[in-house]
């Protein structure tokens, strides 16, 4: 895999660009949220969390019809927690953010979210923030981030000789930690940069899942 600066920039440009018919939706793609990292911009963090939710929303079976809102409830609380990580120098506490989001989804929407769903929302929120202009000032913060897990990143992990983990949205904490730790062992550093290249490379591939299957 080519993780050169040029390859990373190309992958990032592709991620943030919207073209007709690509299905991308949400505030970052409908021109209501600029790709600009401003730490005291509360709306930026709410929109980043909302975009993360939109990316995972197909797995939130049963929540349709409930009045979800990016500006309140579980989404606002997660956005506030992530913003505090940057603004107040809070600790990077991925497990707490995910568990709090799960708890808040139950409280506000009577929805039993799973850890696999929560990781996607949290990790994608960071990915959207990372792709904003000005985010490089917080590189030390983003260096602690995890790779968003989905069918493409798990297909890449399979190509590295690991078992194929299916149905990321059903992951419990232990499975998630196992996968995340292995990714960190393989990639070492610059996880979000490398994820951009991996995702761009694997999103169009067909992966043979007949061997090394693990649920």
pLDDT one-digit tens code per residue, 73-84: 899 999 999 999
pLDDT of residue 209: 47
- How high is the pLDDT of residue 141? 96
Residue 212, pLDDT score: 45
How far CA 111 is from CA of 46, 49, 102, 114, 119, in Å, comes to 20, 17, 8, 10, 16
User: What are the Cα distances from residue 64, in Å, to 10, 68, 128?
Assistant: 35, 9, 24
- If you average pLDDT over every residue of the chain, what do you get? 91
What does the buried/exposed string (b/e) look like for 129-153 if buried means 16 or more CB atoms within 10 Å of the residue's CB?
bbbbeebeeeeebbeebbbbbbebb
Domain count, the chain: 1
Q: Tell me: the pLDDT tens digits for 139-154?
A: 999 999 999 999 999 9
- Look at residue 206 in the predicted model and tell me its pLDDT: 53
- CA-closest candidate to residue 7, choices 180, 183, 197, 200: 197
Q: Which of 41, 4, 5 is nearest to 132 (CA)?
A: 41
What are 133's strand-pairing partners? Answer: 36
For residues 42 and 30, the answer to whether their CB atoms sit within 8 Å is no
Structural domain that includes position 75: 5-214
Q: Which of 54, 61, 64 is nearest to 30 (CA)?
A: 54
Highest mean pLDDT, choosing among 84-88, 89-93, 97-101, 110-114: 97-101
What is the structure's pLDDT at 66? 63
Calpha distance 24→93 (Å, rounded)? 29
């Amino acid at each position: 895999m080519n993780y050169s600066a040029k390859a990373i920039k190309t992958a990032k440009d592709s991620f943030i660009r919207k073209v007709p018919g690509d299905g991308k939706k949400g505030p970052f793609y409908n021109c209501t949220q600029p790709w600009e990292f401003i730490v005291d911009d509360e709306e930026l963090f709410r929109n980043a969390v909302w975009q993360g939710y939109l990316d995972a929303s197909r797995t939130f079976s049963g929540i349709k019809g409930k009045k979800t809102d990016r500006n309140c409830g579980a989404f606002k609380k997660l956005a506030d927690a992530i913003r505090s990580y940057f603004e107040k120098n809070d600790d990077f506490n991925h497990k707490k953010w995910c568990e709090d989001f799960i708890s808040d989804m139950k409280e506000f929407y009577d929805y039993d979210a799973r850890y696999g769903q929560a990781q996607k929302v949290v990790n994608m929120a960071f990915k959207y923030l990372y792709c904003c202009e000005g985010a490089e000032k917080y590189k030390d913060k983003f260096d602690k981030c995890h790779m968003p897990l989905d069918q493409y990143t798990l297909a890449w992990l399979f190509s590295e000789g690991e078992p194929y983990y299916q149905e990321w949205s059903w992951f419990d904490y232990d499975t998630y930690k196992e996968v995340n730790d292995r990714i960190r062992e393989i990639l070492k550093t610059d996880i979000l940069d490398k994820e951009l290249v991996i995702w761009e490379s694997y999103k169009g591939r067909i992966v043979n899942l007949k061997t090394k299957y693990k649920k």
